[in-house]
């Protein structure tokens, strides 16, 4: 069982040490939310004229049950008093207004987990929202989370990797939208009348990421016959150690989106670009975290070495063979990393066995990071379309494009009178198909990857037992 921490509230109150999910009001709240979710349309509203719609009185009763449960649980979490008060008001207004498209802006603005990052602090979060890599609809969701903010991480954030909005979190329990592949809690997914000027927090579930990483890595290592150094094998076998690695990786990755030589909006919000640009951006952030992890290892932080191999293994083993092959930019980044290391003789696939040069891996991985950083730096002086082609050249130097690709044929094969965003339509859904190595690996890992849907540290332990 997770250790229980007595938490001092924002106003000096000491809440009960009881875990929220062990309070009798939590299953009542969870069941009421699960009752509401199937009634909702894609935008979160409830259409009482549609087939299978509830009686309005039943919807009203279910929401009042959610409200009552939140009010019963709120005393356990005085640090979230303002949020829970606004949440009750937003839920009540949604019901009073006839369950139209929900607007939870007031409660979103009141929820400020990054302002109070204390290791072990619990939060009860209820919002109409979609879950990234999970449920695309704005259903009501309820999730209980616990903050991961150990002293060593807090000190690194304060002194080296300032990221005041980042929240490392773990699952306590959740409703159906998180019984998926989603491993984030992001404010931009929540139904609101208008987007706030800026978001003030972002949460990443390091326990799900660690559990998923461990299961897929263990299977890949077995399939590929890879011999791991003793310390890395021990890391893969240790859930808590992997969580510590992922929370550090995520914190550095997240801040990298707004650091460095950036020729474009680093988050590429509301921009239309070829998906390899998104793949390079995500890979740049991961490889920056890798580079910093090498420095941290040299400075005596044991988490530094763990982060390096979490990045290498997740990127090389899980990312390329996860999800559909339609504009799969995370998969592309993993393919590129493997191909680059293979080209530079750091990884070898010989006699149906994968070999890694553990001594040269950090140097060559950092070398790829430097090539992407140079692309970005040079891109500042280039027109957008030229930058896209230069990025394509970098990727296609290591990954074979689809033989039918117009982009692979160069500028003469495209109508350059069109604006750049229109030329994105000429990009194939799978511009850089999987190599034969990855096609074979994908078939063998398919079932393992499917089994990680909804995984948590607790469910992984139960499965292992």
How many CB atoms are located within 10 Å of the residue 377 CB?
13
Q: Give the number of residues written for the chain.
A: 465
Contacts 24+ apart (CB under 8 A), 269-272: 272/421, 272/424
In angstroms and rounded to an integer, the radius of gyration of the C-alpha atoms of the chain is 23
Q: Is the pTM of this model over 0.85?
A: yes
CA 251 – CA 246 distance, rounded (Å): 8
CA 239 – CA 104 distance, rounded (Å): 35
Check: CB of residue 200 under 8 Å from CB of residue 114.
yes
pLDDT number for residue 264: 74
Beta bridge partners of 168: 204
CA 339 – CA 398 distance, rounded (Å): 6
- For strands 166-174 and 202-205, give the pairing: parallel
pLDDT tens-digit profile of 32-48? 999 999 999 999 999 99
Q: Residues with Cβ < 8 Å from 357, sequence gap 6 or more?
A: 345, 346, 347
pLDDT number for residue 463: 79
Percent of all residues in the chain with a pLDDT value above 70, rounded to a whole number: 95
pLDDT tens-digit profile of 70-102? 999 999 999 999 999 999 999 999 999 999 999
pLDDT number for residue 268: 59
Residue 345 clears pLDDT 80, i.e. is over it: yes
Check: CB of residue 190 under 8 Å from CB of residue 128.
yes
Burial class (CB in 10 A: 0-12, 13-18, 19+), 12: exposed
Label residue 2 by pLDDT band (50, 70, 90): very low
- What does the pLDDT average to over 344-354? 97
pLDDT number for residue 310: 98
Residue 5 clears pLDDT 70, i.e. is over it: no
Task: Of 76, 71, 69, give the one whose Cα is nearest residue 16.
Answer: 76
CA 462 – CA 170 distance, rounded (Å): 17
Beta bridge partners of 166: 202
CA 108 – CA 394 distance, rounded (Å): 41
Residue 23 clears pLDDT 60, i.e. is over it: yes
Lowest-confidence region among 7-11, 108-112, 444-448:
7-11
Give the helix/strand (H/E) hosting 302: helix 302-313
Domain segments of the chain: what residues? 20-200, 209-464
Burial class (CB in 10 A: 0-12, 13-18, 19+), 259: middle
Residue 252 clears pLDDT 60, i.e. is over it: yes
Q: How far is CA 314 from CA 101, 310, 318, 449, in A?
A: 38, 6, 5, 12
CA 72 – CA 76 distance, rounded (Å): 8
CA–chain centroid gap for 117, Å, is 19
Residue 242 clears pLDDT 70, i.e. is over it: yes
pLDDT number for residue 267: 60
CA–chain centroid gap for 394, Å, is 26
CA–chain centroid gap for 360, Å, is 29
- What does the pLDDT average to over 53-77? 97
Residue scoring higher pLDDT (46 or 264)? 46
Give the helix/strand (H/E) hosting 347: strand 347-350
pLDDT number for residue 272: 85
CA 288 – CA 448 distance, rounded (Å): 29
Residue 208 clears pLDDT 70, i.e. is over it: yes
pLDDT tens-digit profile of 274-322? 999 999 999 999 999 999 999 999 999 999 999 999 999 999 999 999 9
How many CB atoms are located within 10 Å of the residue 91 CB?
21
Check: CB of residue 60 under 8 Å from CB of residue 97.
no
Residue 4 clears pLDDT 70, i.e. is over it: no
pLDDT number for residue 269: 58
Residue 170 clears pLDDT 80, i.e. is over it: yes
Q: Residues with Cβ < 8 Å from 287, sequence gap 6 or more?
A: 311, 337, 365, 366, 368, 369, 372
Label residue 270 by pLDDT band (50, 70, 90): low
- What does the pLDDT average to over 389-406? 97
Residue 358 clears pLDDT 90, i.e. is over it: yes
Q: Is the torsion defined by CA of 108, 109, 113, 114 positive or negative?
A: positive
CA 273 – CA 430 distance, rounded (Å): 15
Q: Running DSSP on this structure, what letter comes out for residue 360?
A: T
């Amino acid at each position: 069982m997770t250790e229980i921490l007595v938490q001092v509230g924002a106003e000096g109150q000491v809440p009960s040490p009881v875990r929220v999910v062990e309070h009798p009001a939590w299953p009542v709240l969870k069941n009421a939310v699960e009752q509401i979710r199937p009634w909702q349309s894609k935008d979160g509203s409830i259409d009482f004229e549609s087939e299978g719609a509830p009686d309005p009185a039943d919807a009203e009763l279910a929401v009042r049950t959610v409200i009552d449960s939140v009010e019963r649980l709120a005393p356990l979490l005085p640090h979230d008093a303002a949020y829970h008060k606004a949440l009750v008001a937003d839920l009540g207004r949604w019901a009073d207004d006839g369950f139209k498209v929900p607007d939870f802006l007031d409660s979103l603005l009141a929820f400020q987990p990054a302002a109070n990052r204390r290791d072990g602090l619990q939060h009860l979060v209820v919002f109409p929202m979609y879950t990234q890599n999970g449920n695309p609809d704005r259903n009501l969701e309820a999730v209980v989370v616990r903050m991961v903010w150990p002293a060593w991480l807090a000190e690194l954030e304060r002194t080296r990797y300032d990221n005041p909005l980042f929240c490392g979190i773990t699952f306590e329990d959740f409703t159906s939208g998180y019984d998926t592949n989603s491993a984030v809690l992001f404010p931009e997914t929540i139904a609101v009348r208008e987007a706030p000027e800026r978001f003030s927090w972002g949460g990443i579930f390091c326990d799900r990421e660690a559990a998923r990483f461990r299961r897929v890595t263990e299977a890949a290592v077995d399939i590929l016959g890879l011999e791991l150094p003793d310390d890395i094998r021990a890391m893969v076998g240790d859930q808590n150690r992997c969580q510590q690695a992922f929370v550090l990786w995520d914190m550095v990755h997240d801040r990298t989106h707004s650091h460095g030589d950036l020729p474009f909006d680093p988050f590429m919000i509301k921009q239309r670009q070829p998906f390899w640009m998104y793949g390079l951006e995500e890979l740049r952030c991961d490889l920056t975290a890798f580079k910093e992890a090498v420095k941290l290892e040299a400075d005596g932080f044991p988490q530094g070495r763990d982060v390096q191999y979490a990045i290498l293994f997740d990127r090389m083993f899980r990312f390329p063979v996860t999800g559909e092959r339609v504009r799969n930019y995370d998969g592309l980044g993993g393919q590129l990393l493997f191909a680059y290391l293979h080209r530079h003789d750091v990884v070898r696939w010989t006699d149906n066995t994968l070999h890694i040069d553990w001594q040269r891996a950090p140097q060559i991985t950092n070398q790829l990071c430097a090539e992407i950083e140079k692309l970005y730096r040079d891109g500042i002086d280039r027109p957008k379309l030229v930058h896209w082609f230069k990025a394509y050249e970098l990727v296609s130097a290591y990954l074979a494009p689809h033989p039918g690709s117009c982009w692979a044929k160069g500028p003469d094969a495209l109508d350059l009178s069109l604006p750049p965003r229109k030329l994105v339509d000429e990009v194939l859904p799978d511009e850089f198909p999987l190599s034969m190595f990855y096609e074979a690996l994908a078939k063998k890992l398919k079932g393992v990857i499917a089994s990680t849907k909804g995984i948590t540290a607790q469910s992984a332990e139960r499965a292992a037992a």
